[in-house]
A and B are shown apart, each in its own frame.
Chain A
Amino acid sequence: MIPFDFEYYLPDTLKEASEIFVTLQKEGRSPLYYGGGTEIISMARVMNVTPGAVIDIKKIPECLEFGINDNHITIGAAVTLAKITASGIFPLLGLAAGRIADHTVQEKITLGGNLAGTIIYHESLLPLLISDSSVCLQSAEGLKEAPVPEVFSGGGLRPGELIVKISLEKKFAQCPYFHIKKSKIEKIGYPLVTVCVLLYDNVMRTAVSGLCHFPLRLADVPLDPDTDEAVLAENLVRNISAPIRNDASGSADYRTFILIKTVESIIRELKQIKKDKINA
C-alpha cells in the first residue's frame, strides 16, 4: 500500500505534460513523470519518494513511437523493455533490456523509466552510449535533441525534463555485438558488471555498468588481429579514472578482475569472428 495520496494526470500531448509539470512544481507538489511506475511505486510504498502528483506519459503519441523509418530507429520513452526485446529492433538493446529485473517486470518497465530512474545501473543505457544515439527531451522551454552521452554521462536530466524518445541509425543495430552480465549469485539481480560491446568500423566500442556509480563508455579500441587480448583488456580497464565500487556485493578488485576477464573473452570472440569472415 502507498501510505499517502497523490494526484494522477494523464496528458494527451507533450505540451500538456510539461505545462502541468511546471504548474505543479510551482505549487510545491513535487510532481514526477510516470512511465511504467515500478520504481515510483516501490519507493513510494516505503516513503522514499513522496510525490504530490504523478504525470503518466503513456498516452502521449511521441512517447509511444516505435519503429524504423528512413534508416533511423525510434523508441519512445513509454515503450516497455519486454516489447523492445521481443521486437528484435536493436538486438543489443534487447539483450540488455532482457536482463533488467525479470520478464514480468519488463512488461512494465519502460525505456524512459530505466534511463531516468534512481537505480544506478541503467543497463538499457549501455547500448545507447555506444551507438551514437540521441535523446529527445521535452521541458518548459520546448523540445530539444541531444546526444545520449551528453545528457546521461554528464549531469543527468534537469528538473522537469521528460525523455520523449531515443533515436539512432539502423546501421548500429546491425553491427556485431556482445552483452555479458555478471551478477553475484542469481541470474536475476543487480550486476557486478554488465558489459555491452559493438564492433563498428573495426573499432570495439564498450560500455559498462555496475563498475562505477554510473554507466560509462570505455575508450574505443581498434580490433587488431595481432593484439594480445589479455593486454588490451587490462589496459582498457586500468585506464578507467572513475572510482570503482567497493561494497558487499563485490570489492573493487573483484569487479575489476571480472571486467578484465569479461572484456578479454569478448575480444577473443571478436577476433575469431573476424578471422572466420576472412576465411569464408
Chain B
Amino acid sequence: MLKLSGKNIIKLSVNNVVREVAVRPSDILAEVLRNQLGLTGTKIGCENGDCGVCTVLVDNLPVKSCLMLAVEAVGHEITTIEGLSDTPVQNAFIEKNAFQCGFCTPGFIMVCRSLLNNHPDPDDYTVESWLQSNLCRCTSYQEIKEAVKKAKDLR
C-alpha cells in the first residue's frame, strides 16, 4: 500500500513530458502545475469546482484541477493548455473571437478538446452539457459554441 506523508517527490506526466515535483499529499494539482511547473495557462478562480478555469485533461477527460490532489495524478497523462498550442481547437477560438478578457479561455479550450475527442460530431445538447461546466463572465457563450463547431470542421 502506497503511503505518502509530508513532502514527497512524485513524477507527473504533463504534456507528454515526465516532470518531478515536491508535493504534500494535500497539494492541489492546479497549484502544482502553476507554482512548480510554471504552467500558468491553467488559471485558478473559485477553487471550488464551479468556474472551470482550472480545467485540464487527465487521460483525455476534463478535470477541474482545483478538485484534484497532485498525488492522484501520478500514473495519468495530464494535458494543460500549453499542450494544445496551434491545435484546431485553439485556432477555432481565435477565428471565432470566442473570448473577451480571456481568463476563462484555457478552461473552455480544454473542455472543447475533450468533447471533440470523445464526441467527434456532437449534437447541440452534448455541446451545451459539456460547456455548462465552465463560466464566462464576459458572456462569450455563443462565440464559444461557434468555435466548437469550427474546431470540429478543422479537425
Contact = CB atoms under 8 A, between A and B. Distances in A.
A-B complex is real: yes
A226 interface: no
Nearest to B6: A5
A10 interface: yes
A104 B68 contact: no
Interface stretch (A38-46, A140-148, A269-277): A38-46
Interface in B98-137: 111, 129-130, 132-134
A104 B52 contact: yes
Interface string B18-47: 000000111110010000000000000001
A9 B3 contact: yes
Contacts of B48: 42, 45
Interface in A49-63: 54, 56, 58
B138 interface: no
A107 B66 CA distance: 13
A185 interface: no
B31 A7 contact: no
A38 B25 contact: no
Contact of B71 (A8, A11, A45, A188): A8
Contact of B67 (A98, A105, A188): A105
Contact of B28 (A2, A8, A103, A104): A2
Contacts of A37: 67-69, 72
Interface stretch (B56-64, B81-89, B142-150): B56-64
Chain B residues touching A, range: 20 to 34
Contacts of A16: 1
B4 interface: yes
Given A42-B49, A104-B133, A5 B25 contact: yes
Residue of A12, A16, A105 with most chain B CB atoms under a 10 A cut-off:
A105
Given A42-B48, A104-B133, A1 B31 contact: yes
A105 B49 contact: yes
Contacts of A1: 28, 31, 47
Given A104-B62, A107-B62, A187-B132, A8 B69 contact: yes
Contacts of A10: 1-3
B79 interface: no
Contacts of B71: 8
Q: Which 7 A-B pairs have the closest CB atoms?
A: A8-B25, A104-B133, A10-B2, A102-B133, A2-B26, A8-B4, A104-B62
Interface of B: 1-6, 24-28, 31, 47-49, 52, 55, 61-64, 66-69, 71-72, 111, 129-130, 132-134
Given A7-B3, A108-B68, 14 more contacts: A2-B27, A8-B2, A8-B4, A8-B71, A9-B3, A10-B2, A37-B67, A37-B68, A37-B69, A41-B67, A42-B49, A58-B72, A103-B129, A104-B134
